[in-house]
Amino acid sequence: MNNNLLENIPNIRILCIGDIMLDKFVYGKVSRISPEAPVQVLNLKNTKEMLGGCGNVVANLATLGCQTDYIGIVGNDSAGRKISKLLNNVGSHSHLLKLDDYSTIVKTRFIAGNNHILRVDDEEKLPIIKTLIPKYERILHRAVKKADIVILSDYNKGVFTPETTQLIIHICHQYGKKVIVDPKGKDYKKYAGATFVKPNLKEFCEATGVELSPNEETFDKKIRFGAKKLFENCGIENLLITMSEHGIMHISSKEPEIIKKLPTEAKEVFDVSGAGDTTIAVFTLALALGFSTIESMRLANIAAGIVVGKVGTACVSLSELKKAVNKDDSSSNLAHMNKIISLDEAQDIIKDLKSKNKIIGFTNGCFDILHLGHLNSFAQAKKNCDYLFVGINSDTSIKRLKGNSRPFQDETTRSNIVAALSYVDYVVLFDSDTAMPLVQILQPDVIAKEGYKIENWPEAQYVQSYGGKAVTLPRLEGYSTTNFIEKLKGEVHA
């Protein structure tokens, strides 16, 4: 894979067309049942609003740094104005058609702790308004002409009628632009002429009428049968089928007997929200950059693996993607590598986790020679939080503190070893003599460390000053780096 192509991302322009909605998340805590009815009472903590539907595809592309245009329809209402503002915030140039007699779709999710307890959908089917087509067509010509590639994100909310879908695809053909479709519904005839159609496995089964299980022996045979059916009846050029934990596959209408598969990249799945949007965004961007189909699949697969390894976020940054694709084969399969993050990444992750009422824990150290005492400390610290962040002294920091003979292992090795532990969620290197500057920036809810009294522990005092919790962990006697070094010296001199 020619990873240098990623440097061209700012020069790529992608047009996204499709159903857009406002996603609202209401976070709170349930501690009692209502006296009025047998229902839970949610004590509101905070709310969050973000782009949903095709808007999430736009957000993914904008986060990666390419130029984005969006065409879609909203109501002339407050939710529509919020969507317009959110599109502007991510830097997308949008053509929002605002209808007076139509309400913008709003999906509100109520979440208590880790539990999604209710979703309320405020939506109506988009009315078919014949007078919109001429205006829509003029906008399409201008936008498609400027774009490098086009995404159609169909959520079955009314934008993609057979007439409008074929109009868009026909215009794309006029300008020689590839069309990538995220489909909905059972009838794929309206997508005739699309370069790629990307159903998930459930959607593929619904569209073909074929019952499938990835673990059955006849799976590939049934996939080929269903794919041929779509190719013959619907005029689609390629199918890209996502299969969750079973990976992703490509079948071409030119070679329908050949199935190209890639296994999933995700090793730990925390949240699958938006993984499909990330897949189609990165796959399309990769095609526009000049990657081959299989390389584009691999890049999209890597991006989706990063996203589902996070909590509450549906976008992957360019720095994360570059970091993942630049690893050599021996390290690319190590899931823990994604746990080693920069300070800026840590701030963003913690902000998102706290918005969901997650408890952030922190501990720190050199961890030059990892021993059972360290493992015990990590295990105890993890019991006090939902997510444990570990600060590790850089090589430069350790030399200042312990002399030029230390550390025995460099910061890359130490970070990887600590990140590989199941107790640890994220690792952040710091260059200062103490962890105080890091603690002041991260503002953890809990700080934990063995053997430190609060009165001699400035970082703990700081955490307590804003209402956080400081935990002095019990020391596992007989285990320390100093003891290990002294024992080693004794054996050398013996």
A 10 A CB-CB count for 37 gives 6
CB-CB contact of 260 with 297 (8 Å): yes
Which stretches within 162-313 are classed as H helix?
Answer: 162-174, 201-208, 219-234, 275-289, 293-308
- Which of these, 394, 391, 397, lies nearest to 444 by C-alpha position? 391
Residue 329 falls in the annotated catalytic set: no
Indicate the pairing of strand 40-53 with strand 106-112: unpaired
Q: Is the peptide bond before 444 cis (omega within 30 degrees of 0)?
A: no
Total residues belonging to the chain:
494
Residue tagged active-site, from 19, 23, 277, 425: 277
CA distance 139 to 142: 5
Can you spell out the DSSP letters for 405-426?
T--SS-HHHHHHHHHTSTT--E
A 10 A CB-CB count for 474 gives 10
CA distance 160 to 145: 20
Contacts of residue 328, defined as CB under 8 A and 6 or more positions apart, other chains included, come to none
CA distance 228 to 225: 5
Rounded to 5 degrees, φ, ψ at 473 are: -80, 145
Beta bridge partners of 429: 392
CB-CB contact of 273 with 305 (8 Å): no
CA distance 482 to 444: 29
What residue type is assigned to position 494 of the chain? A
CA distance 352 to 312: 7
52: left (phi over 0), alpha (psi -120 to 50) or beta: beta
Q: Which H or E run contains 365? A: strand 360-365
Q: Is the dihedral of CA 135, 141, 147, 151 positive or negative?
A: positive
Contacts of residue 344, defined as CB under 8 A and 6 or more positions apart, other chains included, come to none
CB-CB contact of 316 with 323 (8 Å): no
What residue type is assigned to position 74 of the chain? V
Rounded to 5 degrees, φ, ψ at 118 are: -165, 145
Catalytically active residues, by annotation: 277
